[in-house]
Amino acid sequence: MGEEGTGGALHLLCLAANSGVPLFCRSSRGGAPARQQLPFSVIGSLNGVHMFGQNLEVHLSSARTEDTTVVWRSFHDSITLIALSSEDGASELRLERLLHVVFGAMVLLVGLEELTNVRNVERLKKELRASYCLIDSFLGHSERIGDLTQCVDCVIPPEGALLQLLDRWWQPLLDPLRACLPLGRRALPAGFPLHTDILGLLLLHLELKRCLFTVEPLADEDPPPEQRRRLLRSFYTLVTATHFPPEPGSVEKAEDGAHHAQLPRACYLVLGPEQPGQGWRLVALQLGPRRLLLLLSPQSPTHGLRSLATHTLHALTPLL
């Protein structure tokens, strides 16, 4: 399984759907903004093949070459966004969700009316400059995972129950709010019981659209946090795209009920030799509206992965 974002470049193109006029191009390399721009001939070709398919009533959503993944998406028959990624482990799922987030940023800063009724292309180009900083942040490497899961990243404070509806009395809540600050990247309160083999976890509540993500639940061990993030992000993409049913309200099309009945509720992956004490373990489990993904140390036996994941999910259920 490739590690998302370890190399290569990511390009984002925005064009007027009717005319094909480029509105902007943003790029990143290694997670950092880059000045590299695609040649106009490449931009024209990418938009041209998409428009050609539309004229033939063919919906072109993605394509993959030997080293590049391309995803197209049109919004309101007015704006076309194209993402190209040569990063290791790039996936259509990640790029599709990136395009949705980018268009949301454009709506936030420019307005839906301006984007759906383009009267002056040059003026729209100038107005869209205000969104560059926010869009560039989406092209980088995030320490969280909400950009991929499209759920709100959450932390679990020690006295979380006191922070629920906040209707009348703020003063008693100041100390619980301050207690949230030391949580940092761990996201869980100190002393929360987790198995020592757990190096990272992602818990999603698919109905509430919330997620809990941490790659620093216990003391520092190999691999480093950045690699743990890449492993869990790539594993989420894999199980969401190929194993588990689409999340409620997601952009992916739901399959028929007969197919759903055959879909798995748990899976695991070993990176490296599947031998005792070797290879990182990744396990995913779905029960009801909750989906749990764990990154485990090589010492964790494969025959106990589902039991460990089930126990961890039950322990985390009251929190999210």
Spell out the residues 6+ positions from residue 137 whose beta carbon is closer than 8 angstroms to its own: none
pLDDT of residue 169: 60
pLDDT of residue 245: 67
- Say if residues 95 and 120 touch (Cβ distance below 8 Å): no
User: pLDDT tens across 110-132, in order?
Assistant: 999 999 998 899 999 999 999 99
Q: Starting from the edge strand earliest in sequence, which strands make up the sheet with 210-214, in order?
A: 152-154, 210-214, 198-205, 290-296, 278-287, 266-275
User: pLDDT tens across 253-281, in order?
Assistant: 444 444 455 678 899 999 887 666 788 99
CA diameter of the chain: 64
Which residues, in sequence order, are bridge partners of residue 269?
A: 282
Which ranges of the chain have pLDDT less than 70?
1-7, 159-164, 166-174, 177, 179-185, 218-221, 245-262, 274-276
pLDDT of residue 19: 86
pLDDT of residue 7: 61
In the chain the domains, ranked by start, together with CATH numbers, are 9-141 (3.30.450.60), 152-174+184-247+263-316 (3.30.450)
DSSP string, 126-193: HHHGGGHHHHHHHHS--SS-HHHH-SEEE---TTGGGGSS--S--GGGHHHHHTTGGGTTT-S-TT--
